[in-house]
């Protein structure tokens, strides 16, 4: 397998933009990534695109807007991990030698989708979902278990949102650039006890793109390329096998494989971008990724380690809570964000001295399974 580098990254503005089509959002992200890579769109040899809602030939729809046709284009869907799946697809094409340069695109227009202003509906055969176990309800239950077993408090959960909204104020692409206090978070509208409105990620429109290439090509453009040291993607096992509902066997195993492939461990990670659809979730992911021991996620948060300036800044972009969550775009966007930090180009939100970063995305639900998929990429410089 050949070494693969990230040559260019880009994203559209994130926000509620029902007047802008998914193809236009994707075009903006592609043009930004191509410009960043210093190539022509016609240099693209293969494309993988992810889109969940209203998805029809997404790659073709987006790339025709920049004059790219007549190449191999693959369209994927993997819930919130769709973008990670697209990145992994291009990575495999280049690592295996099928192509030398390709692009991964993630795009979503949530405000024009069938779920606009609604919860994501459960499947018809999902009896728990039909009876009310939606995503907010699930993470509310998990939060209660965290409170009972790990000493978490509502203030701890609110502090995650405070942190990520602070980070979002430093990110020009964030949907929401506003500081909040713990009290303001807790006093926002209750969604599912103990989760309040400002602890939930918003519906968002947006797109992200990354240009990947062989290391030989990358070295023609830069003397210090960002390498994808690991790419791991797994689906979940049966949920009845779980001993602890606050632990994600899927996330733990995906992380283990990624660390093994990269030849590093959690102690080597300088920053993390992860799935924080709810503030309570981020604390669980600290443990899944090995940033701290099981049951110590709350203590890790309280130590200040995941804040900018801390030991391992988590979601310096603002995360899904502040940046927003266009589902299929997020898995591509986290890879772009980590790349930006490793290059030292993240501006006011820069993680100083970052050399190794982890991009995580988890999502999807099927009856009887813990989750749909988890994708993790480890990048180094």
pLDDT tens-place string over residues 185-236: 999 999 999 999 999 999 899 999 999 999 999 999 999 999 999 999 999 9
292 is catalytic: no
213 is catalytic: no
Angle value at C-alpha 48, between 45 and 54, nearest 5 degrees: 135
Distance of CA 165 to the CA centre of its chain: 16
Q: Which domains does the chain have, with CATH numbers?
A: 4-113+204-226 (3.40.47.10), 127-201+230-380 (3.40.47.10)
Tens-digit pLDDT string for the chain (381 aa): 999 999 999 999 999 999 999 999 999 999 999 999 999 999 999 999 999 999 999 999 999 999 999 999 999 999 999 999 999 999 999 999 999 999 999 999 999 887 766 667 777 777 777 887 888 998 999 999 999 999 999 999 999 999 999 999 999 999 999 999 999 999 999 999 999 999 999 989 999 999 999 999 999 999 999 999 999 999 998 877 777 888 899 999 999 999 999 999 999 999 999 999 999 999 999 999 999 999 999 999 999 999 999 999 999 999 999 999 999 999 999 999 999 999 999 999 999 999 999 999 999 887 788 889 999 999 999
Catalytic residue, candidates 166, 275, 325, 341: 325
Convert 41-102 into a string of H (helix), E (strand) and C (coil).
HHHCCEEEEECCCCCCCHHHHHHHHHCCCCCEEEEECECECHHHHHHHHHHHHHHCCCCCEE
pLDDT tens-place string over residues 312-325: 999 999 999 999 99
């Amino acid at each position: 397998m050949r070494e693969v580098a990230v040559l260019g990254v880009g994203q559209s503005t994130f926000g509620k933009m029902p007047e802008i089509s998914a193809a236009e959002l994707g075009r903006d992200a592609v043009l930004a990534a191509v410009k960043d890579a210093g190539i022509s769109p016609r240099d693209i040899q293969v494309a993988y695109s992810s889109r969940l809602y209203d998805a029809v030939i997404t790659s073709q729809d987006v790339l025709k807007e920049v004059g790219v046709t007549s190449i191999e284009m693959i369209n994927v869907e993997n819930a919130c991990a769709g973008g990670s799946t697209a990145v992994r697809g291009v990575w495999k094409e280049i690592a295996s030698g099928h192509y030398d340069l390709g692009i991964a695109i993630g795009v979503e227009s949530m405000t024009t989708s069938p779920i606009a202003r609604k919860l994501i509906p459960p499947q018809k055969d999902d009896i728990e979902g039909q009876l009310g176990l939606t995503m907010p309800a699930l993470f509310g239950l998990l939060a209660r278990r965290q409170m009972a077993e790990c000493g978490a408090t509502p203030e701890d959960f609110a502090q995650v949102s405070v942190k990520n909204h602070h980070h979002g104020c430093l990110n020009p692409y964030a949907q929401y650039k506003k500081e909040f206090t713990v009290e303001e978070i807790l006093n926002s509208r209750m969604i599912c006890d103990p989760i309040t409105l400002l602890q939930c990620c918003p519906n968002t429109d947006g797109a992200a793109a990354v240009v990947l290439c062989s290391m030989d090509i990358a070295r023609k453009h830069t003397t210090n390329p960002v390498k994808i040291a690991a790419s791991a993607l797994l689906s979940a096992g049966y949920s009845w096998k779980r001993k602890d509902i606050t632990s994600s066997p899927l996330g733990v195993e995906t992380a283990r494989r990624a660390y093994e492939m990269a030849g590093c461990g959690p102690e080597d990670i300088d920053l993390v971008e992860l799935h924080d659809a709810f503030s309570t979730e981020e604390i669980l992911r600290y443990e899944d990724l090995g940033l701290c021991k099981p049951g110590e996620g709350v203590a890790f948060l309280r130590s200040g380690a995941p804040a900018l300036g801390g030991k391992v800044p988590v979601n310096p972009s603002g995360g899904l809570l502040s940046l927003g969550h266009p589902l299929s775009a997020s898995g591509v966007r986290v890879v772009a964000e980590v790349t930006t930090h490793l290059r030292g180009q993240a501006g006011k939100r820069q993680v100083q001295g970052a050399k190794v970063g982890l991009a995580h995305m988890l999502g999807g639900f099927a009856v009887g399974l813990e989750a749909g998929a988890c994708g993790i990429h480890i990048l180094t410089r």
